[in-house]
Structure 1
Amino acid sequence: MSAHRMQTSKRLMPKTNFHRAERSPERRTIVSLPEEVVRIQDLAEAWMIRNIGKRCLFIYSINPYTGEKSEKNNELRQLMSSRTLAEMSVRNLSLRPVHRRNLSFIMNTWYREGGGIGYIEYDGKSKLGANAMLLRTFAASPHFEQFQLKASAAADGILALQNADGSFRPWLKEPNYSFDAKYLLTFYSGEALVALLEYYFRTGLTRYFDEAARSAEFYLEEYVRNIANNFYPAYVPWHTIAYRHLYELTKAGKFAEAVFTLNDKLLELQDRSHRIGRFFNPATPQYGLPHASSDGVYTEGLAYAFEMALRTGDEVRAGRYLDAIMISLKNIASLQYREKLDESSLPVYAYRGAIRTNAEKNRWARIDNAQHTIDAIRALGNFLGSKQASTLEPGL
């Protein structure tokens, strides 16, 4: 280990024994999720399971009005959904065979090993984000022990893309076209940090905590201290989750402050006048069009920011973040297919619970629209069960 890495380890050694902090026994439900929020989650989870195809992959995208299914696919979004399925199968034993078949397809079709590392290869490319989601899927799986060697190889595959300064490279196997590495890393860097930390929570192997902490130092400078020059909303939720975990492990105030800086900035995007709750501001079109998957992942990040505010006793921010979460979920609920569509020849079960991409022209329901929403509500439910949340009553 280099001198720099040794210094990082000494400065940011965990202050708690390795554990799943979000599942601590004292964190049980005191304030429950509103009934309407539970309904969003239940319908979305049921649709995700019905949306698993013959190869045990999720149908990537469907148009409920026409019955069309997209010929496109995206391995990273499939793997995000695989992780959610793995987590669902922890509590729902009936889903474990489905989770196993889904993971078996991934391992047999996309997983590769070489040079002591494991990685996802899809269409001749291997991206950091997909490898991070594979590791997250392993870490969430009730069958983790059976895949422990593969998980170790995947974790080392992520570290193989780490530079000496702690930053990441976006591709293990690059595409044959030009790409914007800086843009891709606004997604992939935080995903990699979260994956390494979740792997650490599962194994207690301090090497992965050390390397995640080292990378966090680089991105605290890049994305937080230099937020005025480098802000892009995609990195906010992933880095929020990572910094929340690092705060849990180290109690270092810089991680709490980073969470607040990022999410205070994110709230500038939330629509409060036209379609209330969505994350779209026409004054900043460079951040993308309205999209339910973005709404879902931003809401998940805000759930972690809400929990951070509770932990640090910042009731003003906790209230502000909870309000933002609730109006976001109300908007997402308005995008969820629930009743029979008169214009559609499909049976209602084919799309009931799916979430359309936006309220404008895009009627398609993509798998990650539902997956991100489920993850957001699960996180919120965990954090509303904390003692600190007992005086806060969410409304929808």
Structure 2
Amino acid sequence: MNGTESIVVDALRFSEVTDRSDLERVSKGALFCHWIVIGDGNTLSSGWIEPWCIERFLDMTLPSGAAQLDVYFGREEKDLDLDNSSLPGQIAIGVRGVSIRSERCTLRASPFDMLKNREGFAEAALRLARQTYDSSPNSTSSATLSLFDADLYCLPLRNALKGRWAPSFRHKPIVRIEEVTLERVESLALDLANWLKTHVSEAGQLTYSYDPVKDAVNPGGNRIREWMAIYALLQAHEVYHDESYANAASKAVGWQLSKHYRSHGDMAYIAEGKKVKLGAVALAALALNTPQLREKYPEYLGRLFKFTEYLWEDSGGFHTFWRPADRDGDCQNFYPGEALLFWAVRWLDSRDHALWDKIYRSFEYYRSWHLNNRNPAFVPWHTQAYSLLWRETRDEEMKSFIFEMNDWLVDVQQWETVARYPDAMGRFYDPTRPFGPPHSSSTGVYLEGLIDAYSVAQSLGDDMRMLRYARAIKRGFRNVIQLQLNHSVELSRYPNAGRAFGGVRTTEYDETIRIDNVQHNLIAALKIVSRKSPLSYIFSHDN
């Protein structure tokens, strides 16, 4: 369902659209509630009932155009001792709320508003404190800060018929691990591919970042992620044989080359303002090296390849930035692996001995570098490159490093530790180590590498690793499916549901759809779709 088709007539009371006994069931134990009426992607009306009173609720009147009624039932309010307590982290946004009680009034920040406005708990508490002071500037009494948990129930309004309240978690039912099937991943892939295709303009410009809450394209861009999105569209074309994906990719290639391709002698690079990044050159070349494009752009491809060689050193290391020179050495966890993935594909086509020597020297250099600088971001790029090469060479050193990297990576995935926030289960994040925040694009690229590592283990009959990697892959897809915007309850909140449909939120509490959220998870899902039979084991157990 791409939007909300439920519309009720004017001036119905809440009692006319909900069954009282069902409401009593879901509101049992509630201290108060925050109700929101949604229609056409907007909040039509909202309010608080405190203390909770079912009669007051049922006596409310729906405004014209109402399509859905959401209610947060507040429970388990807990006062905070600010000297000994800390406010919750971002993971609680949209699930818990914050209150300030003074002698005169109680003010609350609802999970609904905090999620919609991407407001953290410290910001919400400060906002409420200012409101409390503004309402009683001369008061000398103290105020109490507290947190409350809230259960969300949603009621779609269909033709004025009484419906049943459905539990929701940040506006979407929890995807259970047993629901993550091969068929569900196939559906995920198709919706991702269609989102990406529809977010290429007629001129060929890709939507880099989209805010579904405001139906707005955010400014900015990133050549690396945009070229990888083009590559993902070409992969979708290869799997589905649907020319619309190739056409969208072709338009995007034309736009990128006209705006950012620069010649440099017999070489060429991809410019991003004043920056020239190894990763952008490599991923542009990877896209142009696909069967759909390599014959159309041989000169562009050859020049970009020469530039990646130009940035390579005899030690096996790469210069990661050509411009600005003082950035050289940054992004070592990303760009060299991206370049080696392109080189691996190039070598499979050419079997060039000189290129193999460079690849192997880089393999040895970066293996040593990674083991002294562990970071999950390094793992998927090198895994994909070495897996491609291992399939042809059966190189023992590469195989061992693939396993060493991914055995370590799976422990970065969260499961039981975030059970209180079940929509986060399956994401990759370690709050105890400085690897960066959780991000759906990260989950996607880790899945890309893990699927390839699984295939290596499967080729060798390594049952223990197959099971371990399969569990991580299935859990990762659970998180991605949870974050994909495809359910009528969550889509009802957006002014342009069709434009949001199929995209992937950045996190559970950040609804921004960035292009790499989509393209990385699309490439991972397409690996499953294109290798259904050998990879079906991944989905055969409830992990």
TM-score class, shorter-chain normalisation, is 0.7 to 0.9
For residues 297 and 209 of structure 1, the distance between their equivalents in structure 2, rounded to whole angstroms, comes to 25
Specify which of 398, 404, 412 is matched with residue 261 of structure 1.
404
For residues 170 and 191 of structure 1, the distance between their equivalents in structure 2, rounded to whole angstroms, comes to 11
Give, as a single letter, the amino acid of the residue that structure 2 aligns with 1:190.
G
How far the C-alpha of 1:232 sits from its partner, in A, is 0.9
Alignment of 1:294-373 (within 5 A): 294-340=442-488, 341-346=491-496, 348-360=497-509, 362-373=510-521
Task: Tell me, yes or no, if the aligned pair for 1:260 and 1:305 is still in contact at 8 Å.
Answer: yes
- Name 2:97's counterpart in structure 1: none
- Name 1:4's counterpart in structure 2: none
How far the C-alpha of 1:395 sits from its partner, in A, is 5.0
Q: Could you say what secondary structure the match of 2:249 adopts?
A: helix
For residues 410 and 258 of structure 2, the distance between their equivalents in structure 1, rounded to whole angstroms, comes to 42
Task: Tell me, yes or no, if the aligned pair for 1:135 and 1:199 is still in contact at 8 Å.
Answer: no
Alignment pair present for 1:166 and 2:316: yes
Q: Which has the higher helix share?
A: 1
- Name 1:17's counterpart in structure 2: none
Give TM-score scaled by structure 2 length.
0.62
Task: Tell me, yes or no, if the aligned pair for 1:187 and 1:235 is still in contact at 8 Å.
Answer: yes
How far the C-alpha of 1:206 sits from its partner, in A, is 3.9
Unmatched 5+ stretches in structure 2: 1-180, 419-423
Give, as a single letter, the amino acid of the residue that structure 2 aligns with 1:354.
G
Task: Supply the RMSD in Å over aligned alpha carbons.
Answer: 2.0
Specify which of 354, 357, 363 is matched with residue 216 of structure 1.
363
Q: Could you say what secondary structure the match of 1:118 adopts?
A: strand
Specify which of 289, 299, 303 is matched with residue 153 of structure 1.
303
Specify which of 95, 103, 121 is matched with residue 271 of structure 2.
121
- Name 1:44's counterpart in structure 2: 192
Task: Tell me, yes or no, if the aligned pair for 1:34 and 1:395 is still in contact at 8 Å.
Answer: no
Cα distance change, pair 364–321 in 1 and its aligned pair in 2 (3 A):
same
CA deviations 1:46-81 (Å, max 9, x no partner) are 111111124312101111111122101111110110
How far the C-alpha of 1:384 sits from its partner, in A, is 4.4
Larger Rg: 2
Alignment of 1:74-153 (within 5 A): 74-90=222-238, 91-153=241-303
Equivalenced residue count is 353
How far the C-alpha of 1:101 sits from its partner, in A, is 1.7
For residues 307 and 222 of structure 1, the distance between their equivalents in structure 2, rounded to whole angstroms, comes to 25
Q: Which has the higher strand share?
A: 2
How far the C-alpha of 1:124 sits from its partner, in A, is 1.9
Alignment pair present for 1:244 and 2:370: no
Q: Which has the higher contact order (CA 8 A, sep 6+)?
A: 1
For residues 392 and 110 of structure 1, the distance between their equivalents in structure 2, rounded to whole angstroms, comes to 41
Alignment pair present for 1:278 and 2:427: yes
Alignment pair present for 1:202 and 2:349: yes
Instruction: Report which stretch shifted further, 207-216 or 66-75.
Output: 207-216
Cα distance change, pair 395–377 in 1 and its aligned pair in 2 (3 A):
farther
Q: Could you say what secondary structure the match of 2:289 adopts?
A: helix
Alignment pair present for 1:233 and 2:376: yes
How far the C-alpha of 1:119 sits from its partner, in A, is 1.1
Give TM-score scaled by structure 1 length.
0.84
For residues 286 and 319 of structure 2, the distance between their equivalents in structure 1, rounded to whole angstroms, comes to 19
How far the C-alpha of 1:392 sits from its partner, in A, is 5.9
Task: Tell me, yes or no, if the aligned pair for 1:61 and 1:366 is still in contact at 8 Å.
Answer: yes
CA deviations 1:69-94 (Å, max 9, x no partner) are 21011111101101112222333223
Give, as a single letter, the amino acid of the residue that structure 2 aligns with 1:86.
L
Task: Tell me, yes or no, if the aligned pair for 1:51 and 1:58 is still in contact at 8 Å.
Answer: yes
For residues 235 and 312 of structure 1, the distance between their equivalents in structure 2, rounded to whole angstroms, comes to 24
Give, as a single letter, the amino acid of the residue that structure 2 aligns with 1:162.
W
Cα distance change, pair 343–393 in 1 and its aligned pair in 2 (3 A):
closer
Task: Tell me, yes or no, if the aligned pair for 2:344 and 2:386 is still in contact at 8 Å.
Answer: no
Taking only the aligned residue pairs, the percentage that are identical comes to 27
Unmatched 5+ stretches in structure 1: 1-32
How far the C-alpha of 1:183 sits from its partner, in A, is 4.4
